[in-house]
Amino acid sequence: MTSSSLSTYNSSLATDPLRSFRFNATFTAASTGDGVFDSRILSNGGTAVPTTGVSTGWVGGFTNISGLTINTQAIQYREGGYNTTIHQIPGMTTFSPLSFTRGVLYGNDQAMTWMRGLFAAAAGSGLNPSTKSGTAAVTPTSTGGFGGQGGFRVDILITVNEHPGTDVVNDAPQMAFKVHNAWISNLSYTDLDATNGAILFESMQLVHEGISVFFTNSSGYPTEAPTAAGLNDF
């Protein structure tokens, strides 16, 4: 590589690390085939900002997503007659809980709806039986609730886009995290304090059963299968 081409390579956007502030999270029904007990815990495309205190799906972005960690346990054992070192073999793989934080906006009731559903499931009542017929309808039922198929697990696709994002049409993601079979285990809010003007934040903790991590090409397809599969297939 010549000095001029090296200079061009070093100054190109392709060499810039991805920025951690350009991300998006999409919630879909778990790939197990079950629907969900309430469509508000899914990302229904084109969802409008709720004005009545009741939403039809996730609205707005998150300020922070943390806990994208994969860890494999190391099992140690000693071999007779081999006393200088200890063998190391892989054991169980664990995934840290994820934390999603965002400012509280009027009508964004998705996290509290999810937590109420988990409370009902733990109490042995409340969730409708699954019919394995896909996602629930997003329109209210005659009783004022939302129709559903019973499941409380979702898949979450977290995409990271490059910067700067001047080309909105072709602003394809550069990296993606696919979170499998996630459900909410903790919901908390910041303290109510009349002595300052702080924003009220909502934080939910999700447990899950795995993370798929992959880069994408210029079209937004996973590089492992650039034409055969979309982001949600991984």
Chunk the chain into consecutive blocks of 10 residues (it has 234) and report each block's average pLDDT, rounded to whole numbers: 58 74 92 79 80 88 95 92 88 95 93 90 65 40 45 92 70 89 96 93 96 86 75 73
CB of 152 within 8 A of CB of 37? Answer: yes
Q: How high is the pLDDT of residue 146?
A: 43
pLDDT score recorded for residue 132: 37
The structure tokens listed for 154 are 């979702």
Identity of residue 210 = G
Q: Give how far Cα 53 sits from Cα of 69, 128, 147, 227, Å.
A: 34, 23, 18, 42
Q: What's the angle, vertex CA 70, arms to CA 64 and CA 74, rounded to 5? A: 150
**Structure tokens, 72:** 């494999």
Please report the pLDDT score of residue 144 as a whole number: 38
The DSSP symbol for 136 reads P
Which has the closest alpha carbon to 139: 40, 26, 53? 40
Task: Supply the pLDDT for residue 93.
Answer: 93
Helix or strand (DSSP H, E) at 119: helix 110-122
For 189, phi then psi, to 5°, come to -130, 150
Look at residue 80 in the predicted model and tell me its pLDDT.
Answer: 86
Predicted pLDDT at 3: 60
Please answer whether residues 162 and 174 qualify as being in contact, where contact means their C-beta atoms are separated by less than 8 angstroms.
yes
The model's pTM = 0.82
Q: What are phi and psi of 85, to 5 degrees?
A: -135, 170
Helix (H, G, I), strand (E, B) or coil at 153: coil
- CB count within 10 Å of CB 100 equals 21
Task: State the Cα–Cα distance between residues 124 and 118, nearest whole angstrom.
Answer: 10
